[in-house]
Structure 1
Amino acid sequence: MKLINWWPPMLGTGISLKNVSKDFRTFEVVMKLRWYNRNLVGIHYGGSLYSMCDPWYMFILMANLGSEYKVMDKGASIRYVKPGKGTLRCTFYISEDKIREIKEEIDQIGKNDYTFLCEVTNEEGEVVTEVEKIVYVRKKDFDFEKFETMNRGK
């Protein structure tokens, strides 16, 4: 999994995956402030801060739900709390209970969106950026026509 550090969007922004738990429910990511990822006022570039948070919840769900499910990033919003300086960190985690809850719900209703909040922190542990991620999950064999027919009468 750490080969992702060589993927151009990660390499080009200085984002580094530092740790992945054995159960693939926790990912730890860091980004050092470098000349190539700072903006005009000398702090972390906003696009890099978003990139730091982009794929991880999707990866966690893909790894834990299995191949019967389709998982895709659907949306995000970002809020800059304070200037991002120095080395920034973010830990992405979904509990076993939450993954089980998602799986049970999708098995019942077929598809849904899930929202997760990630907080990017500085070396002092202060939150510098909050990113709300929306992840779409559905069964691969989801019957869209049946779903539409069932919901027309509502």
Structure 2
Amino acid sequence: MYGHDPAATATSTAAPFPSRAYTIAAQDAWSRRIEVQGFADPALVDASGASLATPSVQASQATRYITVSVAKAAFGTPGPGWTFAVVLTGQDGNSPDQARPFTPTAGQYTFGLCPAGGTAPICAADPATAPKAFDVLTPSGVDQKLELDPTRGPVSVRGVPVG
């Protein structure tokens, strides 16, 4: 999750690893990033990558929710002008960037760009250019399918404004 504080002086558009093949849109450049995964400790960092705090994470099988808590003093108080870009990847604990890669068709430990025999333009794309993003939240008027399509150029994820 990438938080954009409009008052922040230091921001970034970078994903945690260049191999994730996406950036955050410039107008939503983040000042705080929370990353939660199964193979590493949760992290809250600023745009330079410096740790701000260690988030607390609780998962509930009963409700199927994951709750992430951070200290308000470390994160700030979201309000008007803030945006949040949320990117869900598939986890791969053996990958240097901890995200499951894409291949032309799905494999045992990869996501597929297309079904076998697919003919959509994405089927001809280089899987290395596909953003390692399985799901994103989009603001009103932004089509997720178009936002994540690497055949349209570099992938840039938009933030959702705080209401």
The answer to whether the superposition gives a TM-score over 0.5 is no
Larger Rg: 1
**In which range does the TM-score fall when normalised by the shorter chain?**
under 0.3
More helix by proportion, 1 or 2?
1
